[in-house]
Amino acid sequence: MTPLAQPALRCAAALALAALTLAPPLGGPARAGDRLRVVFVTHGQAGDPYWNAVKNGTTRAAADFDADVRYESPESFDMSAMAKLVDAAVASRPDGLAVSIPDAEALGPSIRAAVSAGIPVIAIDSGLTTWRSLGAAAYLGQDGYRAGLAVGRRLGAAGARRILCVHHEVGNVDLDNRCRGAKDGSGAEVVVLPVPTDPREVQSRVMGALQQSREIDAVLTLGPLGAIPMLKAVDELDVRSRLRALATFDMTPEVLERVADGTLLFATDAQQFLMGYLPVASFRLHQLYGVLPTEAWPTGPRFVTRELAPGVLELARRGLR
């Protein structure tokens, strides 16, 4: 965990504990008799396992705080569809809105409308550089560029000089920043490979890139949607011996198994469970006492290496990491 993340997460833990244990003030909560209602709207595509831990965080928080928590996302990476989901959430007047911001220009009007309606907003996962300008109260997630820098340093230390960065969500600025950070952190040349979410197409494009340039000596994927097809491409071409490192952002049980056996140098951990759980705790405290966090809380990146992977694997299988 980064030094910056440690105090932030200690504060986050204290916040959650307070929300669980503090009794309502005399006279009852600010909206006596009302059950806390929270809506999450993210850009998480259907089938992307990264978001499972976020969803499980919302489910756990809903149970802990007896809250009505709804999670919404478009079927694909579609900012127009996501903006409509935010608009619908605003119309329902929840006690809090948690939203990812992969494209501030596209989502800005809808988020500002929530703020103008008096709905507290917490940004999660993406939007570190834009959440404040849109009126959100706080941010939970990681800095895509700084995470990329940290990843790049590790790849550079492994000897990488030409890195293939497999980008599965073109248009997501935070993912763009991961590739850019990896370049600056490693000092290597980075070739960005845009891919769709179809695993067969991802595998085909990675195979094509590796066949076209034998100078590629490391492959970095930006999430599990790219990681598993990438590994299949490397296996099918039988080029593992020529590559200095394979690595990915984010993790699933299958990814962790490949970290544990040494195939992947590491996977990053953004601690998405916190992104689902802590906004609900924050909105509960706001409902009771009118208080909200006001800063960005970094939740990552942490790095899961071969030594750590077995201990994380069981939690990942339960959708908590």
185-229 per-position pLDDT tens digit: 999 999 999 999 899 999 999 999 999 999 999 999 999 999 999
Looking from the CA of 41 toward its CB, the CA atoms found within 13 Å total 26
pLDDT at 272 over 70: yes
**224-237 and 253-260 are packed helices; what angle lies between their axes, rounded to 10 degrees?**
50
CA distances from 302 to 146, 250, 321 (A): 12, 10, 11
State the Cα–Cα distance between residues 302 and 292, nearest whole angstrom: 26
Cα-Cα-Cα-Cα dihedral sign, residues 38, 132, 320, 46: positive
pLDDT at 286 over 60: yes
Please name each of the domains of the chain with its CATH number: 5-142+271-300 (3.40.50.2300), 144-269 (3.40.50.2300)
19-54 per-position pLDDT tens digit: 555 545 444 444 545 799 999 999 988 778 899 999
pLDDT at 168 over 60: yes
What tokens appear for 284 in the block? Answer: 């509960």
Q: What angle do CA 56, 63, 54 make, to 5 degrees?
A: 20
State the Cα–Cα distance between residues 45 and 76, nearest whole angstrom: 5
Dihedral, 318, 36, 70, 105 alpha carbons, nearest 10: -110
Per-residue pLDDT averaged across 107-121, rounded?
A: 98
β-bridge pairing 245-248 and 296-298: unpaired
What tokens appear for 65 in the block? Answer: 């705080």
Instruction: Give the containing element (helix H, strand E) for 307.
Output: none
User: pTM (2 decimals)?
Assistant: 0.85
Buried b or exposed e, range 124-150, using 16+ CB within 10 angstroms: bbbbbbbbbebebbbbbbbbbbbbbbb
- pLDDT, position 25: 46
What tokens appear for 68 in the block? Answer: 């009505």
Dihedral, 228, 231, 233, 238 alpha carbons, nearest 10: -160
Per-residue pLDDT averaged across 305-316, rounded?
A: 95
Q: Indicate the pLDDT class of residue 18, thresholds 50, 70 and 90.
A: low
- pLDDT, position 170: 87
State the Cα–Cα distance between residues 212 and 147, nearest whole angstrom: 28
pLDDT at 14 over 80: no
- pLDDT, position 45: 80
What's the whole-number average pLDDT of the chain?
91
Do residues 219 and 230 touch, judged by C-beta distance below 8 A?
yes
Per-residue pLDDT averaged across 123-146, rounded?
A: 95
- pLDDT, position 156: 98
- Residue type for position 133: S
What percentage of the chain has pLDDT greater than the value 70? 90
Q: Of 80, 63, 81, 64, whose CA–CA distance to 72 is shortest?
A: 81
What percentage of the chain has pLDDT greater than the value 90? 82
- pLDDT, position 28: 43
- pLDDT, position 2: 43
Per-residue pLDDT averaged across 3-10, rounded?
A: 46
State the Cα–Cα distance between residues 22 and 245, nearest whole angstrom: 48
